[in-house]
Amino acid sequence: MTGRGSLLAQPLRPPSAGRAAGYLGLLVLGAVTGAAGSLVQAGWFPGGLLLALAGAAGLFLGGARLARSRGGAVAPAAGWMVAVILLTTARPEGDFLFGAGGGSYLFLLGGMALAVICATLAPVGQPADHDVRLGK
């Protein structure tokens, strides 16, 4: 065993400024994708629903591959989720953006499922220590 100990026992360090800016950009891009997808999915059903979900999946998986971590998928998924949840709330006038149809529920549940799938499939780097057996 090395002097550093287990990788899991190491203290957490905050991300670098560049990585934090990248995650913030992915968060904003996720919010824009969620807002655009909520408009497209209702406009051209069923093609719009498929297009909106494909755009969300592309952003989640692309963010994960770009950042080479699960955080790259979680950041745009969080932005997507915030935008979609805010667009589902009713306004004082009584109107809201989402209808009560099946397409809206498919968009909400499908987007959440895609976020979980993309975060699970995200490429995660292996530790640089030669003592671990992850690469065998």
66-121 confidence digits (pLDDT tens): 888 888 899 999 999 999 988 887 767 766 666 667 778 888 899 999 999 988 88
Mean pLDDT across the chain:
82
pTM reported for the whole predicted model: 0.77
DSSP 62-121: HHHHHHTSTHHHHHHHHHHHHHHHHHHSPPTTS--SS-SSHHHHHHHHHHHHHHHHHHHS
Question: What is the reported pLDDT for 34?
Answer: 92
Q: Tell me which H or E stretch contains 54.
A: helix 47-67
Question: What is the reported pLDDT for 53?
Answer: 92
Question: What is the reported pLDDT for 1?
Answer: 45
- Which tens digit of pLDDT belongs to each residue from 36-54? 988 888 777 788 899 999 9
